[in-house]
Structures are given as structure tokens and as C-alpha cells.
Amino acid sequence: MEITLKYFGQLVDVMGTHEETRPVDCSTTLALLEQLKKNNAISHIPFQLAINQKLIDQDEAVSLHDGDVIALLPPYAGG
């Protein structure tokens, strides 16, 4: 399965790109996050997770599907 990952804020610097499309062998967002944190130094960076433009809880195991777009968003503040 292939998904698109979009990075924002500090995550762009760590990941070296704003967006990438890559094959994954993860079936849930929990497994994907575990893999991303294991292979990249992002554990110390706070972020929210969105799948197909819908915010989700990082502790929620949402099923991934071919073509999904996953965004890792920094915290935001209103004003």
C-alpha cells in the first residue's frame, strides 16, 4: 500500500521534506507512528495527526488504506 505523508513545522527540518509518498507495510496509524518514531528523531516534537484532513487521536488505531494522506501537524494557537 502507498500513502502520502505531509510534514509541517519542525518536522520538515527533521524529515528533510514537506511531503513524501511511500509504500508502507503498516495497517494502522499506531503502527505507522511507531515506525516513524523508531526511524526518525521525532519523538521529542509535539504534533497532531490528521488522516485525509480529519484530526485523529494519536492513541487511536485508525486503519490505513492505499492512497491515504497523513499529515503531522504542529500545535497551533488561536488569536
pLDDT attached to residue 58: 83
Between 3.40.50.720, 3.40.50.300, 3.10.20.30, 1.10.260.40, what CATH number should domain 2-73 receive? Answer: 3.10.20.30
Tell me the pLDDT tens digit for each residue of 36-63: 999 998 888 999 999 999 999 888 899 9
Task: Give me the residue spans of the domains in the chain.
Answer: 2-73
**In the predicted structure, residue 74 carries a pLDDT above the cut 90:** no
Q: CB-based contacts of 36: which residues, under 8 Å, 6+ apart? A: 42
For the entire predicted model, the pTM comes to: 0.89
**In the predicted structure, residue 5 carries a pLDDT above the cut 80:** yes
